[in-house]
Structure 1
Amino acid sequence: MSLPLANVEAIHPDLWLASQIGSHARTAVASGHSALDAELPGRGWPTGSLTEIVCPQPGCGELRLLRPALVAVAQRPIFMLQPPHRLQQIALAWLGVPIENVKVLTPRSTSDALWAAEQILRAGTASALLFWQQQIRADALRRLHLAAQRADTLFFLFRPTAAAVTTSPAPLRIGLEPAPGGVNIALIKRRGPHRDEPVFVSLSPSPVLLNRHAPLDRRTSAAPSHREFLSDLAHAGV
């Protein structure tokens, strides 16, 4: 007679069966995309934790992907740390995020940026922290993850695709790849079984905001892909 499987999550929230998607000890914020929520532990973006998003370049649809979650928590401050382009108020309004609740920080050095990220997380007053960083040491990642656990803050760290092959303490790591009508999301690391196939998420088109200082590509009516970024940043929307 076989014994029933133990409910390991009842023992401790950080335990789960390898064949099942784990839960999340803190609350999770729904991503707004049902296909993605079904694959995320806790059925949403985790709070009080480090989430890494790797993508080939800024402007792959990362902010449109996060848009529903940011709108859901926009009643408290949202910090954007070292964004790769200048933010525009009209684009923030399109996102549905109150402009007065968005705080943009552009430290002069990586060490200052890491210090600022830790202070924001430790303070616990922010609803979300979005941090863009090209290179970051393993010890700095551990410090950020520990700081994130002190508060119920959505914490997203944007890194280049090359970072996907490196180790990280982040419980959730995803990779974005642009696709017609949206993005393909690879689940690099999660509390749950490995998934070979990416999750496709449809993203609504955004208004095109061209940088007046960037030359137009006369060969096509579309904005050049190398100048594309999120609609809430300075270049063309994706």
Structure 2
Amino acid sequence: MPALVSPALPDAVWRASQLGSHRSAVAPTGYAALDRELPGGGWPSAALIELLLRQAGIGEMQLLRPALAGIAPKRRIALVQPPHAPQAAAWSAWGLPAERLLWVRAARSADAMWSAEQILRNGSCGALLFWPTHARPEALRRLHLAAQAADILFWAMRPLAGAQDASPAPLRLALHPANGGVKIAIVKRRGPLQGAPLHLALDGLPSAPASLAPSITPVSHARLDRRVPAAAAARNLPAALV
């Protein structure tokens, strides 16, 4: 007997062969080709989004730049445990004023996780970028639940090896360096499996000559300093705000 679908609820039925949608608002990524691959047509708010990286600085910040530029004029952007210190001049050149950035540096992984959860629950920031050193499934689940109750875009940058681990994130993208941009493989989404990785050209990334392209890895472009200042005394606080 064929399944019956109520005509009053056509949008409530999702088929695995189709891209799903999100109950929360969706922010355009700034890249039409990527929007077409994402449920709802952009970055979902109020949800954990995982970017799985082989290493930091392969294009992830440039990828997020359009979405962050839309947030900065109105709300703050939080950076928790970035691999390098943010460079204020570079962020300002991107149209992201330094006074809109909240940089959180924690001494322990547990403190960083706690700080990220408090930012999600506070609701004062429009975006959170988090680089967890160690992330257990139960810790990620707590962050995802906290994000669901907030109006925020939340990205967690995790090692590429974590793609094999279970995660509550409804959207997981694996990023690989590519000539003039990044190659994006969708590890998890509400929809069909991705046919082939998406090659996305990013402004500001160099293109290698065709004869050298196979052996060239794009230079690190993330707008972050590699010299991290000496850690300040903790003074019994779980995290330092800079």
* TM-score grouping bracket, smaller chain normalisation: 0.7 to 0.9
CA contact (8 A) 1:50 1:144 kept: yes
Matched with 1:191 is 190
Q: Which residue of 2 aligns with 1:26?
A: 24
1:137-152 matched pairs, under 5 angstroms:
137-152=136-151
| 1:151-200 Cα distance to aligned partner (Å, 9 max, x none) | 11000000011001111000000000111111110000001001130111
Corresponding residue SS for 1:39: coil
2:71 aligns with 73
Cα distance in 1, alignment partners of residues 152 and 32 from structure 2: 22
Q: Who is 1:228 aligned against?
A: 220
User: Is there any run of 5+ residues in structure 2 with no aligned partner, and where?
Assistant: 207-215, 227-242
1:181 partner amino acid: G
Give the deviation of 1:9 after TM superposition. Answer: 6.7
Give 1:234's aligned amino acid: D
- 2:181–2:205 contact (8 Å) kept in structure 1: no
Report SS of the residue matched to 1:176: strand
Query: What do you get for the CA RMSD once the two structures are aligned?
Result: 2.4
| 1:4 Cα offset (Å) | 9.1
1:17/1:90 Cα in 2 relative to 1: closer, same or farther (>3 Å)?
same
For residue 51 of structure 1, report the CA deviation from its aligned partner.
0.2
C-alpha separation in 1, matches of 2:139 and 2:96: 29
**Which digits, 9 at most, give the CA deviation of each residue in 1:117-161, with x for residues without a partner?**
111001111100000123211110110000000111000000011
Q: Deviations over 1:66-86 (max 9, x none)?
A: 000000111201000000011
| Cα distance in 2, alignment partners of residues 226 and 200 from structure 1 | 14
CA 1:196–1:138 in 2, change beyond 3 Å: closer, same or farther?
same
Return the TM-score normalized by structure 1: 0.84
Report the counterpart of residue 203 of structure 1 in structure 2.
Answer: 202
Out of 15, 27, 37, which is 2:35 matched to? 37
CA distances 1:185-224 after superposition (whole Å, capped 9, x unpaired): 00000010011301111101169xxxxxxxxxxxxxxxx9
1:7, 1:100 → 2: CA distance?
51
Counterparts of 1:98-177 in structure 2 under 5 Å? 98-177=97-176
Are 1:53 and 1:156, in contact at CA under 8 Å, matched by a contact in 2? yes
Q: Partners of 1:190 and 1:101 in 2: how far apart? A: 31
Q: Which amino acid aligns with 2:144?
A: H
| Aligned with 2:59 (options 58, 61, 81) | 61
Question: Would the alpha carbon gap of residues 6 and 203 (structure 1) be closer, same or farther in structure 2, given more than 3 Å must change?
Answer: farther
Deviation (angstroms), 1:95: 2.1
After superposition, the Cα gap between the structure-2 partners of 1:50 and 1:3, relative to the gap in structure 1 and judged at 3 Å, is: closer
Q: Which runs of 5+ in 1 are unaligned?
A: 208-223
**Alpha-carbon distance change, 197 to 98 in structure 1, aligned in 2, over 3 angstroms:** same
Q: CA deviation at 1:36?
A: 0.2
Count of aligned positions: 216
Q: 1:6 to 1:195 in 2, by over 3 A?
A: farther
Deviation at 1:5, TM superposition (A): 6.7
